[in-house]
A and B are shown apart, each in its own frame.
Chain A
Amino acid sequence: EPEVTQTPSHQVTQMGQEVILRCVPISNHLYFYWYRQILGQKVEFLVSFYNNEISEKSEIFDDQFSVERPDGSNFTLKIRSTKLEDSAMYFCASSVSGTSGSPQYFGPGTRLTVL
């Protein structure tokens, strides 16, 4: 069964450093997403991406965040200057289509720890 994969599984960084989280969506999916989950809190939407453009982004997704599809398989989330409050689990997801009924499938996540 096709799966979304994410690397690394755990990233530890110092405050102010840049981090890049990587995802490989399911191969025939065209819509990609990033979500985050702070420990003990609910899953929160960050950004959706289609056809090399951001479709929608949340208030959390400020100028410190960016996304990119550098090649035909990877989808990345970059945080330019990490803050302590960026510590969270970051999930990548993908879906076949962008209609609201199209289920999204999640990767195993990257646990980001900012010290």
Chain B
Amino acid sequence: RKEVEQDPGPFNVPEGATVAFNCTYSNSASQSFFWYRQDCRKEPKLLMSVYSSGNEDGRFTAQLNRASQYISLLIRDSKLSDSATYLCVVTSIKAAGNKLTFGGGTRVLVKP
């Protein structure tokens, strides 16, 4: 089983609509969770950290379900500029290293 699994998509979203997608992780010792976005052939850019109680940053809402080992990302009022690949990222408890484990990404295409 992959450590971090994502639906690769693409999710085709009309501009202004809401889109949501999940990510599952296999390591129950996973400690911290992030969403990054990656544009084609560019670096991953931090979108938001994901907190246990869930958190919101503008049009983006992230949720964490430790019992079922998944995190979710919801994008409201989608903009054309939201078109990107969204990377689910987890870290595990470790004394040193702070290695990030990436999912394969979910591709989102926002269309006019």
A binding-site residues for B, Cβ under 8 Å: 31, 33, 35, 41-45, 48, 50, 55-56, 58, 89, 91, 93, 95, 98-109
Contact = CB atoms under 8 A, between A and B. Distances in A.
The A interface is mostly helix, strand or loop, or mixed, namely strand
B110 interface: no
Contacts of A45: 99-101
Interface of B: 31-32, 34, 38, 41-46, 49, 87, 91-94, 96-105
A107 B43 contact: yes
B45 A89 contact: no
Report which residue of B94, B99, B103, B104 has the largest number of chain A beta carbons within 10 angstroms of its beta carbon: B99
Contacts, number: 70
Which 4 pairs of residues, A with B, have the shortest CB-CB distance? Answer: A56-B97, A100-B91, A106-B43, A55-B96
Contacts of B45: 106
Contacts of B42: 108-109
7 contacts: A43-B102, A55-B97, A58-B99, A91-B43, A101-B32, A105-B46, A109-B42
B87 A102 contact: no
B43 A100 contact: no
Contact of B104 (A42, A50, A100): A42
B33 to A, nearest CB: 9
A105 B47 CA distance: 11
Given A42-B104, A42-B105, A103-B34, A98 B44 contact: no
